[in-house]
Amino acid sequence: MLQFLGLSARAEAVYRSMLGHPDHGVADLAADTGLPEDDIRCALDELGDLELLRPSSRAGGGVRPVSPEVGLAALLAAAEADAAARQAQIEATRAEIAAIAAQHERTRDWDGALRLEGIDAVRSRLEEIQRLTETEILSLNPGGADRPDARDASGPLNEQALKRGVVIRSVSRESFRNDPDTLAYAEWLTRLGGQMRTVPSVPIPLIVVDRKLAILPLDVSDPRIGALEVHSPSVVAVVHALFESVWAVATPFGETAPIDEHGCNPMERALLDLISTGCTDDAAARKLGVSLRTVRRIMSGLMFRLDASSRFQAGINAAKRGWL
């Protein structure tokens, strides 16, 4: 209890014993506390340093304990003064943090994020950025970026960038392989030197330019609402790492999606992952960009192969067999 005042446990035990038996010597205090005599002597030195002992006036000299009302009260007052000084330091630090935060807020426009309201503002800004791109444009496209109006707007700019030697790498959803317009666009872009791959589900729409800025949606569920243009190096590094992790497992256009050791293609693996997290058939269909009927057909095949009579059992069996 008294450690807060600077007393060790052994010093407190000796002090309490001395208050009850002021005439006890080292041997008696050792017997009272159960501590070795060497520890008793160390505790007496500690109590002396804390001014909890005074010379005794009795015959033979020695020391006596200072009353708690005097000795411990003085230590408590010193501790309170230290706490007050510490609190003052905390308040000064809080004020400094507020000043730094205010300075950061003033500089956020150029070092933080630029808010782009609406799809027109996003496209206008992308036109400006693409003309200034020096090395690469990376993108994840869950859906909106590959609509005909988006392709018409970005096509000429992509062509100009590729002619300047800019690397273009793009990842779309696997389901777009079934869309004639997207396939035609992919064939056109790859003929010019661009690179496109697919995955069953794209986590988030994003664009990374020259590893210097990133474009992220204001609302992941509807990219047309607008976007944030981020320049913070740490944020851009994280977004770039996300793109590379998706790119690494994506299937290049023109190649057949790989089958894993359990006989599952990427779409089947993605559906199992979604179902195992409690995703409904409707939600899985939206994430995968396929119809509800397609999800149920794929799930039915998986249940048959997993000897499962329900989706829940299919998830358990898939986990047991190492499919997840």
127 in a domain, yes or no?
A: yes
pLDDT for position 189 = 84
Asked if residue 119 and residue 152 are part of one domain, the reply reads yes
98 in a domain, yes or no?
A: no
pLDDT for position 208 = 94
83 in a domain, yes or no?
A: no
CATH number of the domain at 134, please. Answer: 3.30.870.10
Rounded to an integer, the average pLDDT of 184-191 is 83
Q: HSE of 301 in the Cβ direction (CA atoms, 13 Å)?
A: 12
Boundary residue ending a domain (40, 70, 100): 70
Give the contacts of 82 (CB within 8 A, at least 6 positions apart). none
C-alpha to C-alpha distances, 98 to 95, 106, 162, nearest whole angstrom: 5, 12, 46
Q: Cα 293 to chain center, whole Å?
A: 36
Confidence of residue 258 (pLDDT cuts 50, 70, 90): confident
Enumerate helices (H) and strands (E) in the chain, giving the number of each. 12, 10
SS3 label, residue 196:
strand
Asked if residue 236 and residue 311 are part of one domain, the reply reads no
Q: Which two tokens stand for residue 280?
A: 């409904």
Asked if residue 200 and residue 295 are part of one domain, the reply reads no
Asked if residue 241 and residue 217 are part of one domain, the reply reads yes
Task: Give CA–CA dist 9/80, Å, rounded.
Answer: 21
Whether 104 shows a pLDDT value over 50: the answer reads no
257 in a domain, yes or no?
A: no
Q: What angle do CA 237, 220, 312 make, to 5 degrees?
A: 105
Boundary residue ending a domain (223, 252, 281): 252
pLDDT for position 137 = 92
> Is 9 within 8 Å of 3 (Cβ atoms)?
yes
Domain carrying residue 41? 2-70
Asked if residue 245 and residue 155 are part of one domain, the reply reads yes
Asked if residue 176 and residue 54 are part of one domain, the reply reads no
106 in a domain, yes or no?
A: no
Confidence of residue 240 (pLDDT cuts 50, 70, 90): very high
Asked if residue 22 and residue 138 are part of one domain, the reply reads no
Q: Which of 42-51, 83-92, 140-149, 217-226 has the weakest average pLDDT?
A: 140-149
48 in a domain, yes or no?
A: yes
Task: Give CA–CA dist 131/157, Å, rounded.
Answer: 7
Rounded to an integer, the average pLDDT of 157-164 is 83
Total domains in the chain come to: 3
Confidence of residue 103 (pLDDT cuts 50, 70, 90): low
Boundary residue ending a domain (229, 252, 275): 252
CATH number of the domain at 309, please. Answer: 1.10.10.10
Give the contacts of 71 (CB within 8 A, at least 6 positions apart). 50, 51, 52, 65
In this predicted model, what pLDDT tens digit does every residue of 147-157 receive, in sequence order? 545 555 566 77
Asked if residue 121 and residue 244 are part of one domain, the reply reads yes
pLDDT for position 59 = 57
pTM above 0.75, yes or no: no
34 in a domain, yes or no?
A: yes
Asked if residue 194 and residue 124 are part of one domain, the reply reads yes
Asked if residue 122 and residue 242 are part of one domain, the reply reads yes
273 in a domain, yes or no?
A: yes
Rounded to an integer, the average pLDDT of 3-22 is 86
In this predicted model, what pLDDT tens digit does every residue of 201-226 receive, in sequence order? 888 889 999 999 999 998 887 878 88
Asked if residue 157 and residue 31 are part of one domain, the reply reads no
> Is 122 within 8 Å of 153 (Cβ atoms)?
no
Asked if residue 235 and residue 274 are part of one domain, the reply reads no
Which residue would you say has higher pLDDT here, 315 or 39?
A: 39
Q: Return the residue matching tokens 């080292």.
A: 26
> Is 119 within 8 Å of 226 (Cβ atoms)?
yes
